[in-house]
A and B are shown apart, each in its own frame.
Chain A
Amino acid sequence: MKPEDPSPAEGTLDRRAFLRVALPVPLALLTGSGQGQPGSGQQAATTPTPAPPAKAEPAIPPTYKATEHDYGMGIDPSRCIGCGRCAEACKVENDVPREPFYFRTWVERYVVQTNGQTVVSSPNGGIGGFPAVSETGILRTFFVPKLCNQCANPPCVQVCPVGATFKTQDGVVLVDQDYCIGCRYCIQACPYGARYIDPVTHTAEKCTFCYHRLVKGLVPACVEVCPTQARIFGEVKLRNSPLSRFMRLHEIQVLKPHLNTEPKVYYANLDGEVR
């Protein structure tokens, strides 16, 4: 018995000694940096946040109140001339890769033929214009600009497993590039084909309604450069906004209304062939 006695005594002493050293660390983390070991507590608080740049120069002006806005876009296909300047401006403004399969906005040409077929084309998203089309056998033909519909009930946000894509207080659906794991669920979920994986960052990207312009009081780049005012931007709920006026004066449709995504891109007098 005698030789066995010291060993458990040593064991308990060791465990107690270990706990005496180890326990304060999580305790300190739990209660903040007030007690125990202040160094570890401070580390935990400072490492994950990029607070200093935000303090140095506020990206969002203090006068901007996100809760006061609810943005939407109106599109009048009967005014679109298919010049593709919106798609070009979007690529310049948002550093979208120039390859012809990364678009945040693009223009589609619908050609409804007399034989009942509908041909939809969007060569390079409409950038640089469209090739000539034969006029025989055409019932009607028109252009339709497309972009992320900034749904009020966005399927892409529902499926994101990490909370990297989200709806802001002003109703814009954004992607957190630092948080996105590039799983592509949102690309599958989007019924409008508005998302892509950025080839450089390997994260999902999409139209932000040019959020960086909105907070400075500018309109999105595509709206700025549209020469025929086929795109109208403004507040959905404010009665005196250009968008509300546009919605009063036109018959408004949204794309794929049966999916209950509640898009906030409103199309005026949309042709039944447009999907």
Chain B
Amino acid sequence: MRQQVTRLSIVFGLMVAALVAARQLLVPKTFGKLGHYRAAAVEEIAARKVRYAGHEACTTCHEDIAKVHADHRHRGVSCEVCHGPAAAHADSPTEVRPSAPRQRGACPLCHGYDPSRPTGFPQIDPVAHNPLKPCVSCHNPHQPEPPRTPEECSACHGEIARTKAVSHHALLTCTRCHETQKQHRIAPQSSRPSKPVDRAFCGGCHARDASSPKEIPRVDMASHGERYVCWQCHYPHYPELK
């Protein structure tokens, strides 16, 4: 009886010892230190390599560009958005140079038209917007200009402008016949340009007694189609000469 108890307790003690030994050997030292995981793993993950230096690192050396950049509309766009990961450049500035995208494809990634993009975000049609010209030839990416309202009528009324350009009225400005408020450029629908209303307007140049250059064709306003307004027969953007 006593012999069995001692033998069993020895075997049992051995098993406990083996278990403890196995646990000591197999369970990592830091397991359970902070929770049910290996605490050293946090440090291993924290030791991974940083590739993007962060815009603050860029600012320490490129102070001049950072200052200009901070005052313009790209201020929220950090350096590495366009120039790529630059931690290697920050570590050894002369040996590793970050890229500077100058080709045309770089900008439409953000500024190409896409209906899913939020309304109001500046977008262009990369096919129609000054084809083949690199964006940086007109726009400075560090200080981009906000989009201006169109300078020329042709920006919106291209078809009319192209027709007029090959007509005898090519040298007339649009505003010669259409009085246009400034508001029309900002809100085209709310302020419409004027149109000529009567025969006398065309007669201002084309009447026999008009004080205009001699080369301009003249008509007798009294006898020439007196019951019609001029643009019922003559298209003013492409007037035919007969």
Taking Cβ atoms with an 8 Å cutoff, the residues of A that contact B are 19, 23, 25-27, 29-30, 44-45, 47-51, 53-54, 57-60, 66, 78-85, 89, 92-94, 109-111, 128-130, 132-133, 135, 138, 141-143, 163-169, 174, 176-179, 208, 211-213, 215-216, 218-219, 221, 224-229
Tell me whether B37 and A129 are in contact (CB under 8 A): no
B158 at the interface (CB under 8 A from A): no
B147 at the interface (CB under 8 A from A): no
Alpha-carbon gap, A263 to B41, bound state (A): 23
Contact of B50 among A163, A216, A228 (CB under 8 A): A216
Contact of A221 among B21, B25, B43, B52 (CB under 8 A): B52
B28 at the interface (CB under 8 A from A): yes
Alpha-carbon gap, A195 to B85, bound state (A): 24
B121: nearest chain-A partner, CB-CB: A81
> 27 A-B Cβ contacts within 8 A?
A26-B17, A26-B18, A29-B20, A30-B20, A44-B21, A48-B29, A54-B43, A60-B46, A78-B118, A81-B118, A82-B114, A82-B116, A92-B52, A110-B116, A129-B114, A130-B114, A133-B114, A133-B116, A135-B115, A138-B115, A143-B116, A164-B37, A167-B35, A212-B48, A213-B50, A224-B78, A227-B78
A30 proximity list for chain B (CB < 8 A): 17, 20-21
Alpha-carbon gap, A51 to B25, bound state (A): 15
B57: nearest chain-A partner, CB-CB: A218
Say whether, besides A48-B26, A48-B28, A49-B40, A225 and B48 are in contact (CB < 8 Å).
Answer: no
Tell me whether B40 and A54 are in contact (CB under 8 A): yes
B38 at the interface (CB under 8 A from A): yes
Min distance, Cβ B141 to any Cβ of chain A, angstroms: 11
B192 at the interface (CB under 8 A from A): no
Min distance, Cβ B69 to any Cβ of chain A, angstroms: 13
Min distance, Cβ A51 to any Cβ of chain B, angstroms: 7
Tell me whether B77 and A227 are in contact (CB under 8 A): yes
A225 proximity list for chain B (CB < 8 A): 52, 78, 80-81
Alpha-carbon gap, A81 to B109, bound state (A): 9
B55 proximity list for chain A (CB < 8 A): 224
A178 proximity list for chain B (CB < 8 A): 38, 41, 44
Alpha-carbon gap, A128 to B24, bound state (A): 50
Alpha-carbon gap, A29 to B24, bound state (A): 8
Min distance, Cβ A75 to any Cβ of chain B, angstroms: 14
4 A-B pairs with least C-beta separation? A26-B17, A59-B47, A166-B37, A176-B41
B78: nearest chain-A partner, CB-CB: A224
Contact of B36 among A50, A53, A166, A212 (CB under 8 A): A166
Say whether, besides A94-B48, A208-B45, A224-B55, A163 and B115 are in contact (CB < 8 Å).
Answer: no
B184 at the interface (CB under 8 A from A): no
Min distance, Cβ B161 to any Cβ of chain A, angstroms: 26
Query: What is the count of residue pairs linking A and B with beta-carbon distances less than 8 angstroms?
Result: 169
Min distance, Cβ B203 to any Cβ of chain A, angstroms: 46
Tell me whether A215 and B54 are in contact (CB under 8 A): no
Tell me whether B20 and A219 are in contact (CB under 8 A): no
Tell me whether B110 and A81 are in contact (CB under 8 A): yes
A129: nearest chain-B partner, CB-CB: B109
B123: nearest chain-A partner, CB-CB: A81
Within 8 A of A (CB), among B2-52: 10, 14, 17-18, 20-21, 24-31, 34-38, 40-52
Contact of B14 among A26, A92, A224, A227 (CB under 8 A): A26
A166 proximity list for chain B (CB < 8 A): 35-37, 41
Min distance, Cβ B111 to any Cβ of chain A, angstroms: 9
A230: nearest chain-B partner, CB-CB: B118
B54 proximity list for chain A (CB < 8 A): 213, 218-219, 224
A169: nearest chain-B partner, CB-CB: B34
Say whether, besides A26-B18, A133-B116, A92 and B37 are in contact (CB < 8 Å).
Answer: no
Min distance, Cβ A34 to any Cβ of chain B, angstroms: 14
A40: nearest chain-B partner, CB-CB: B21
Min distance, Cβ A163 to any Cβ of chain B, angstroms: 5
Alpha-carbon gap, A229 to B12, bound state (A): 64
Tell me whether A174 and B42 are in contact (CB under 8 A): yes
B218 at the interface (CB under 8 A from A): no
Min distance, Cβ B120 to any Cβ of chain A, angstroms: 10
B112 at the interface (CB under 8 A from A): yes
Within 8 A of A (CB), among B100-125: 108-110, 112, 114-118, 121
Alpha-carbon gap, A221 to B81, bound state (A): 10
Residue in A19, A85, A165, A208 whose Cβ sees the most chain B Cβ within 10 Å: A85
